[in-house]
Chains A and B, each alone.
Chain A
């Protein structure tokens, strides 16, 4: 995973609430077994609407997305995050996010930032009126700043996620350092718990 320190650039005002991952990455594109190349399919249906914000060349290449509450709800498909990553989104600012989506973002290295509704509404209207407005996010100091103005806010982030993003650390690599703890847990784990070895057998008994 690459490291994130600061992100600066234009913002895309996606002014809709409860945007679900079926919209971000429709199912027909989940058949691919590759990990990259999802950008062209992001918001596939909505992009057919001429007025959709991603069709506005003013926002092309913007690294920051502004969204409304409960962004990323629904299906767990990480393909949604891969699609956003592929169109160049590095951070998303919203009043709230769905849990699985936010988790997926943190694994992929996309920063999700929760700001108050009024702050999101302010940034949203700025981006709509002045698409060239620049926002700067600084991860170490946990601040979001609207360049060329006094507007600045601090944000919360899970300290562990921050540490991983700042250092570009692979989660699995971290967990693998705890091999002893995992083995210890396994040796004291109840033998009564089910396993799936019988699933290899070619028999079926139900009920």
Chain B
């Protein structure tokens, strides 16, 4: 099977995430306004479509990886599944005890996918370093911190748009939270890269 080039993968993920943000900003708010159940469900589930595409393209990337890359992907996915499972069961017990409202439960559910991606990326990066390789060969693609900052800016712009339009709800809070998390991650990666470069010079 032909390996999927990093640049192709990055381009497809960036396009899918841009579509996701556009859908979340333009279509998702219609779900709250719709009165009929069918259109309500349709509008509410539209943001899931680009996410399905992201999962499919990630599966393609893993399938076309070599054995060492597949091993690091497997470690990353295993850790991510463990983290999300534990946090889900903790949230479920809290919600079942009545300590959390239905609204806050939906916010927790919305964070499952980003949390899974974040823990997958962090665990995979750690596993890759164990084998003396980088999770992303920066010689072949944009530096990781730039991709994080780009995504943070995209999420921040969408959150600002929703706030300005007066849609101060779960979607705007979620986008702002994502933007903040990505900006923190991007800053950490930029700092780590700067430290590595300085160590190489010395």
Answer yes or no: do A and B interact. no
